[in-house]
Chains A and B, each alone.
Chain A
Amino acid sequence: MIEIRNLNKKIGNRLILEDLNFSVKKGEILGFLGPNGAGKSSTMKIITSFWHPTGGKVLIDGRDVSEALLETRKRIGYLPETVPLYDDMKVGEYLRFIAEIRGLKKEAARRRIGEVSDSCGLVSVLDRPIDELSKGYRQRVGLAQAIIHDPEVLILDEPTTGLDPNQIVEIRELIKRIGKEKTVIFSTHILSEVSAVCDRVIIINKGKIVGEGSPAELMAKSRGQDAIYVKLRGPKEEVAARLRGLEEVERVEIKDKEAEDVYGYEIAPKAGVDPREQLSLAVMKNGWGILEFSRKAVSLEDIFRELTK
């Protein structure tokens, strides 16, 4: 549905995007992840043909966005990061304007305005001027505007910033629902959002793709493995030595001290093995007291930090 080929963007002498290549299928929600200034918004500006690429191309349904400009724009709904709206208009008036300029017929426009104000929770504010709305409502108007023409491609630049937790859940549900039939790209720097919503993630940093895959795949690929943390009562040196002696254990690190002879140990297992059982047997055999035992899963945060360092 969306294909990005060797995309480059230069502004002045600065290379903002460097050889971006990826594609998004129909019915897929792609999370676009990266630190601020990584090139997320720039990529979206080019997909929506607001900016022209310096090199490479963007294809929507096989058509180049810089050639079939009007055709591809019709298929795209776009919510820019800053949620720009015409503040002097009323919400209903604004949605009518969008519906009309998007070419919806009168009857269809009325129906769609009803539908989107329903699904975005705008029914109560249709008569309010946009500049009186709270940030959360503005965001919803922005989203309503983006989906009013039932686009096949939805590009959302940080759609959940500034919303309260309830609204975030609502918007996520909405995105998921839309994503079942359409193609969605949405950027965020909230990592939990990515695992909650996306089928696939692309992590970009300094204009380059540094990681790609489903959230689970990314975690699996990551260098860091699940570690085990235990807090034991026992002579420090002996405990460490015995633990290191276990077959499944790669590395043992003393992390913290709670009291005399009570230490926390972080154990990194060898690749592909689960040392938990052997570990507990060893502890029992030696008669140490267990105060804590937990597994530290690699989080998306770790991967993100590792990839964008």
Chain B
Amino acid sequence: MDKYLRPIWVLFKKELMAYFNSPIAYIFIGVFLVVGNWLFFSSFFLVGQASMRDYFSLLPWMFLFLAPAITMRLWAEERKAGTIEFLLTLPITDWQAVLAKFFGGLAFLAIALLLSASLPASISFLGNLDWGPVIGGYLGALFLGGSYLALGLFISSLTRNQIIAFVSGVAACFAFFVVGADFVLAGAPQAAAPAMQFIGLGSHFYSIAKGVIDTKDIFYYFSFIFIFLWLNVKIIENRAWK
């Protein structure tokens, strides 16, 4: 295996296993599936359309809580338990550590999403489901989730308290999501509106979820993720904290 990837892979496996070693992971996934299904089906039969548009407009709001819950412990716990001193004296670079944690979280999120695929499966059984927007929706969800995770991971590196990491993670994700939302843009100054719409995580998600995969949106998500992972590396590099 490639020299650079191997330590990432080992640490990634450990991080992913750590979720399932505690009951918290099952609770997260359980709540995510139950809330998602319940909110969706409560209106599904009223509307009577074999479409997942409602579900995908709901997803960003659920991720708002799920993603920070996934990332809150990743650095905060290492700092609190002091294991960070041990982790960062292993023969791995700071980037490798950050990437492993990020992909560990992303894999966990992907598992949660995969389990929610029972939803489109049962809809397609009930009616004629257009799979294009569904696949686009899941892809968009991964990008959006990845962005939330990168942001949450960065915030987790700033504190040794998981609760603080979670609450500020939710707040930060909310801010980035809502800055491009229609109701905020309506109240924003005209000149700033396009920039805000571009920065906002939500607008990019909705266009992908429609099934329109634009390189601009993909580029946006990759840059967003990269910037926060990079900031994360800078925080870890500094280590001015005890």
Q: Which of A69, A80, A87, A102 contacts B85 (CB 8 A)?
A: A80
**How many chain A residues touch the partner (CB < 8 A)?**
28
As a 0/1 sequence over residues 90 to 104 of chain B, the CB contacts with chain A under 8 angstroms (1 = contact) are 111100000000000
**Are A69 and B90 CB-contacts (below 8 A) given A82-B82, A84-B82, A88-B21?**
no
**Most-contacted residue by chain B among A45, A84, A145 (CB, 10 A):** A84
As a 0/1 sequence over residues 89 to 105 of chain A, the CB contacts with chain B under 8 angstroms (1 = contact) are 10000000110111100
| Contact across chains for B21 and A89 when beta carbons are under 8 A apart | yes
Scan residues 99-128 of chain A and give those whose CB is less than 8 A from a CB of chain B.
Answer: 100-103
Q: Is the interface of B mostly helix, strand, loop or mixed?
A: helix
Q: How far apart sit A51 and B11, CA to CA, in the bound complex (Å)? A: 21
Query: Using Cβ atoms and an 8 Å threshold, which residues of chain B touch A178?
Result: none
Q: How far, in Å, is B26 (CB) from chain A's closest CB?
A: 14
- A50 in contact (CB, < 8 A): yes
**Are A88 and B85 CB-contacts (below 8 A) given A101-B11, A101-B92?**
no
Q: How far apart sit A88 and B81, CA to CA, in the bound complex (Å)? A: 12
**How many chain B residues touch the partner (CB < 8 A)?**
22
| Contact across chains for B90 and A86 when beta carbons are under 8 A apart | no
Query: Using Cβ atoms and an 8 Å threshold, which residues of chain A touch B11?
Result: 101
| Contact across chains for B21 and A80 when beta carbons are under 8 A apart | no
Query: Using Cβ atoms and an 8 Å threshold, which residues of chain A touch B6?
Result: 103
Q: Which of B84, B89, B240 contacts A76 (CB 8 A)?
A: B89
| Contact across chains for B81 and A70 when beta carbons are under 8 A apart | no
- A160 in contact (CB, < 8 A): no
- B83 in contact (CB, < 8 A): yes
| Contact across chains for B91 and A80 when beta carbons are under 8 A apart | no
| Contact across chains for A101 and B90 when beta carbons are under 8 A apart | yes
Q: How far apart sit A87 and B11, CA to CA, in the bound complex (Å)? A: 16
Q: Which of A49, A74, A80, A97 contacts B82 (CB 8 A)?
A: A80
Query: Using Cβ atoms and an 8 Å threshold, which residues of chain B touch A101?
Result: 7, 10-11, 14, 90-92
Q: Which of B84, B93, B240 contacts A69 (CB 8 A)?
A: B93
- B239 in contact (CB, < 8 A): yes
As a 0/1 sequence over residues 107 to 142 of chain B, the CB contacts with chain A under 8 angstroms (1 = contact) are 000000000000000000000000000000000000
**Are A78 and B240 CB-contacts (below 8 A) given A87-B81, A100-B10, A103-B91?**
no
Chain B minimum-CB-distance residue to A75? B91
Query: Using Cβ atoms and an 8 Å threshold, which residues of chain A touch B88?
Result: 50
| Contact across chains for B91 and A73 when beta carbons are under 8 A apart | yes
Query: Using Cβ atoms and an 8 Å threshold, which residues of chain B touch A102?
Result: 90-91
Known: A102-B90, A103-B7, A103-B91. 10 other contacts (CB 8 A): A52-B239, A73-B89, A73-B90, A73-B91, A80-B85, A84-B86, A85-B83, A85-B86, A86-B81, A103-B6
A and B contact pairs by CB, cutoff 8 A, 21 listed: A48-B89, A50-B89, A69-B93, A70-B91, A70-B92, A70-B93, A73-B89, A73-B90, A76-B89, A82-B85, A84-B82, A84-B83, A84-B84, A86-B18, A86-B83, A97-B10, A97-B14, A98-B90, A101-B7, A101-B90, A101-B92
